[in-house]
Structure 1
């Protein structure tokens, strides 16, 4: 391959990468009633209680993003919802689920909680929770 063709292909590939990332489904932002609506529709819901200033939340987000990038089935089957801790940490949702703090991840299906992680940033734990959600979503 000549240099000109190599550079053209490299530029095209680099331009396409942001488009591929944009195609990934962005998590929904929580608003009252959203979780109930999605659960009634039969969806498996993955809640991420987080704050913009929380370093543990940021570490969890990096792991979540990497896992989603490695397995597109997660985003295809699971409904991810971000819950802003500063706005909704004392909400009826947080109270009903007994959410102790930000950096809490919870999976729900129907009227059941399938699992949760509190302040854990390990890839294995988060992947285990996501696999639980995927299994419920595809069952």
Structure 2
């Protein structure tokens, strides 16, 4: 096998698990569509330059690795703060800032974390979402 082919295949195999659990990027109407289907939606209002957001994402991914049921039961949607901070979704949910995590089911907000990075706090939010999925 050629070295370049090997390196490309190796990189792809390492990145595949990351792609599988990656959040869907928000587009207008996406949240309503998932909520109408009865999905549990986990919204991550974040910015690429935000260190708190990066920590939250890392913790969420660690928790999904520890409990794959989160990834199977919950629809993760990443909302780019720089693009959508003034959007209707952001206004209607009264999102105060980037680094805000919100869980929704139907027309109810089940929980939220603003700027929190504690693993136990984020696990609690994911557990709330998982419990709502099972209900």
Unaligned runs of 5+ in 1: 1-13
RMSD, matched Cα: 1.7
Matches within 5 A, 1:91-130: 91-130=87-126
- Specify whether residues 119 and 34 from structure 1 end up closer, same or farther in structure 2 by C-alpha distance, changes over 3 A only: same
- DSSP-derived class of the 1:32 partner: coil
> What TM-score does the superposition give when structure 2 sets the normalisation length?
0.88
Paired residues, what number? 126
Could you list the runs of 5+ residues in structure 2 that have no partner in the other structure?
A: 1-9
Deviation at 1:88, TM superposition (A): 0.4
- Separation in 2, partners of 1:77, 1:87: 27
Match of 1:70 in 2: 66
Structure with bigger gyration radius: 1
Q: Deviations over 1:20-46 (max 9, x none)?
A: 615733211000000000000000000
